[in-house]
Structure 1
């Protein structure tokens, strides 16, 4: 009976998704400053060292709730894709800067400073930080993955993103 109980408990732990810490939400009131996280998958990534294309702003009338935040989407199709598997589309580290997490802190992620690595979306805070991040992307991800469990329980950052102005999603 004990073996069954342990097996059942282990199976349930794997079946129930682990919820992330508090999602970073800026003054727009939206996760990822109102940018459509599904749309990143359709953008052509620039090589390391080159500026990525800007993200796609979502619309205020096409939204979904996930991880305690409201997410905006450019199309109903993107919203539906997100709802099928939100953890796949949501940025790593609850939208905080990946390089910041690799250094042991939570600072905001800028939706226009992004990169998809191994099918995961990462955001960074400033173009200078992107340079540090890109010096060793795999190494920085490894450091961030090691730091994240201890940081995840902390409150989301309340800082604003430097040199970034967002009016949030496009109005309907």
Structure 2
């Protein structure tokens, strides 16, 4: 039988573990459209599995990190639910090129690229052409700028 002292420490230990877990998995805010949809309703997993943007369906939706995510099928939804950070676009789904400029700008789901297992979106395909000129260098620049963009 636990002692009174042990019982009194249990709530504190629980709160501490929730705080640590919450911070370990903290994620950035997600860009959504007027309806609260991430990536304008496109399936984030499809970029990886199908190598193209695919519109998700309402019956396969999931709310995560303040946004509603849509999927083309139950399998993609299951994959996302198991590891959303793996499939969610970088920089909260904002334009990767604009992040370099210090801005949070909406994206076109058709202007995308996967680099080192991470999804990057751009404002347009023209902007994506600029981004693509030096993807590794632009990622480094955007990674440096992203905290200041979040602070705005």
Give the TM-score normalised by structure 1: 0.73
Displacement of 1:109 in angstroms is: 1.6
Displacement of 1:66 in angstroms is: 0.9
Displacement of 1:139 in angstroms is: 0.9
Aligned partners of 2:137, 2:79: CA distance in 1, in Å? Answer: 30
Matched, 1:20 2:7: no
Cα root mean square deviation, aligned: 2.1
The residue number in structure 1 matching 2:83 is: 85
**Larger relative helix fraction:** 2
Paired residues for 1:65-104 under 5 Å: 65-104=63-102
Paired residues for 1:43-54 under 5 Å: 43-44=50-51, 53=52
The residue number in structure 2 matching 1:41 is: 48
Aligned partners of 2:113, 2:126: CA distance in 1, in Å? Answer: 15
Paired residues for 1:1-172 under 5 Å: 12=20, 16-21=24-29, 23-44=30-51, 53=52, 55-154=53-152
Any gaps of 5 or more consecutive residues in structure 2?
1-15
Aligned partners of 1:139, 1:99: CA distance in 2, in Å? Answer: 11
1:26 is paired with a residue whose SS is coil
Any gaps of 5 or more consecutive residues in structure 1?
1-7, 45-52, 155-172
1:82 is paired with a residue whose SS is helix
Displacement of 1:122 in angstroms is: 0.2
1:152 is paired with a residue whose SS is helix
Bigger radius of gyration among the two: 2
Aligned partners of 1:86, 1:97: CA distance in 2, in Å? Answer: 19
